[in-house]
Amino acid sequence: MKRNRENMEIVWQTPANPPERHDYIFRNGIRYVKPYYFEFISHAKNRWAGKTIVDLFADEFKGRNRDYYDSAVKSGRIQVDGKTVPVSYRVQSSQKISHFVHRHEPPVMALDVAILHKGEDVLTVCKPASVPVHPCGQYRKNTVVGILQAEHDFAPLFPVHRLDRLVSGLLILARSASQADIFRQQIESGTVQKQYIAKVVGEFPEEEQIVNLRVNFNAREGRSTVEVGDTDEKDNKTLNGKAACTKFTRICTNGKYSIVSCHPITGRTHQIRVHLQSTGHPIANDTLYLTGDVNSGSRRAFDVVKSNRSLNVKCNDNCDSQPEYSIEDFDIDPLCTNCPNLAPIGYDGSEEGLWLHCVRYSGPDWVYECPYPEWASLS
């Protein structure tokens, strides 16, 4: 789709446009996506009806300020049912609303998406930490699915299970919807076993630890808490957490850290992380769940690791030939609130992956495994 905006020809992408190898820029161990023009499409919800188009965006999409939305409506970057509207236009329920943006995706660590098994029906890979599995939020091309399509021409792909963005390890992807449905049925029937490993604070108990604590995820805060019992004795309120169980077995320890095998029986958001926290042995670099007296010491140790780490940087040809990006690598958009920066505001690519890694999934007649990461060695 081509439109002429600000005296330049713009090619607008939609979700139908596949990622390509040349969409990426590599710099200092970080994978960036070249900013591109994209059409976000939504349909007006009932609660939006009657709001002016500018009020709607200012209230519902707070990533940009009101002045930007005012300019975007006037310039035609925001349209209703494919037409330019005045800033005073009042939205009606179910109308198609298009927002044409210069899209800057957050950067991720430039680590290989290593292919572990390639079959006719199934693909398994080692997912790098910091990379989302599939398009979500601000991520579209900087995802495992996007990178595999751009660099290996694997499409379509259907992720069989979830891995949080900061978690690394085994990821199973079905190569057809029918195969994905087979895996889904097995997972829902409880016939699939999962194993992760984590590097935790302190000397984890030698005997197996079974944690049966409800997990309550707070989407607003982006973190989970555990709940005990069926009611809150203090407030006499029914607890909202979902039943959750994880089995933990120590693999090794040096007294300061331990490597722990984690077997989640259920699959709640941040379940392993918050259950480990409840044992007093949180993941050693999990700043979201490090608490109390383990916090400062673990953070200091983590800072040392950050300063000394080296990345297996992904390069298209060889690392010596990879140039640092310049403004000439992408078009500067006059209405874009992120230009001339490559990453969106608030993202600098400096985050680290969690010391939590998926190593094994097994079903009724199949097993897939992933090698241990370097941090799993305490020597």
Q: Please identify every residue annotated as catalytic.
A: 164
d(CA 341, CA 190) in angstroms, rounded, equals 47
Number of Cα atoms under 13 Å in the Cβ half of residue 293 = 2
Retrieve residue 263's tokens: 């077997």
d(CA 141, CA 261) in angstroms, rounded, equals 32
- Beta strands 168-174 and 193-201 are unpaired
d(CA 377, CA 305) in angstroms, rounded, equals 14
d(CA 277, CA 200) in angstroms, rounded, equals 9
> Alpha helix (H) ranges present in the chain?
53-60, 66-75, 144-152, 177-188, 271-278, 295-308
3-state secondary structure at position 371 = coil
Compute CA distances 234 → 216, 224, 230, whole Å.
17, 20, 12
In the chain, what is the straight-line distance between the N-terminal and C-terminal CA atoms, in Å?
56
C-alpha 227, offset from chain centre = 26
DSSP one-letter code for 51: S
